[in-house]
Amino acid sequence: MSQTPLPYRPHNHRACVDQALADAHRICNDAKARLTPTRERVLELIWQSHKPLGAYDLLGALAQDGHNAAPPTVYRALDFLQQHGLVHRIASLNAFVGCAHAGHRHTGFFLICRACRNVLELSAPHVAEAVDQAAQDEGFAAEDTTLEIAGLCPACQQEGGHE
Amino acid sequence: MSQTPLPYRPHNHRACVDQALADAHRICNDAKARLTPTRERVLELIWQSHKPLGAYDLLGALAQDGHNAAPPTVYRALDFLQQHGLVHRIASLNAFVGCAHAGHRHTGFFLICRACRNVLELSAPHVAEAVDQAAQDEGFAAEDTTLEIAGLCPACQQEGGHE
DNA sequence: TCAATGGATGAAACATTATAACATCGCATT
DNA sequence: AATGCGATGTTATAATGTTTCATCCATTGA
Ligand SMILES: [Zn+2]
Ligand SMILES: [Zn+2]
Ligand SMILES: [Zn+2]
Ligand SMILES: [Zn+2]
pLDDT reported for residue B9: 63
Q: Chain B residue closest to A146 (CA)?
A: B148
Counting ligands in written order, the one closest to the CA of B50 is 4
pTM: 0.91
Nucleotide nearest to B38 (CA to C1'): D8
What is the number of other CB atoms lying within 10 angstroms of the CB of residue B31? 12
Give dist(CA B20, CA B18) in Å, integer.
5
Statement: residue A50 has pLDDT above 50: yes
From B96's Cα to the closest Cα of chain A, the distance in A is 14
Nucleotide nearest to B33 (CA to C1'): D6
Statement: residue B1 has pLDDT above 80: no
Give dist(CA B123, CA A76) in Å, integer.
36
Query: Chain B contacts of A127, Cβ < 8 Å?
Result: 127, 130-131, 134
Give dist(CA B121, CA B104) in Å, integer.
13
Domains of chain B from N-terminus onward? 13-98 (1.10.10.10), 109-161 (3.30.1490.190)
Of A56-60, A77-81, B14-18, B26-30, minimum mean pLDDT range: B14-18
Q: What is the mean pLDDT of residues B84-91?
A: 97
| Rounded distance from Cα B151 to ligand 4 centre (Å) | 8
A153 in contact with B, Cβ within 8 Å: yes
Nearest to B111 among A109, A113, A140 (CB): A140
Q: What is the mean pLDDT of residues A111-117?
A: 95
Single-letter amino acid, residue A6: L
Nearest to B122 among A122, A134, A151 (CB): A134
DSSP letter at B33 equals -
For B23-50, write each residue's pLDDT tens digit. 999 999 999 999 999 999 999 999 999 8
Tally of residues, chain A: 163
H or E element in which residue A99 lies? none
> For helices A37-49 and A55-64, what crossing angle results, to 10°?
110
Which residues surround the ion ligand 4 when the cut-off is CB under 5 Å? B 113, 115-116, 153, 156
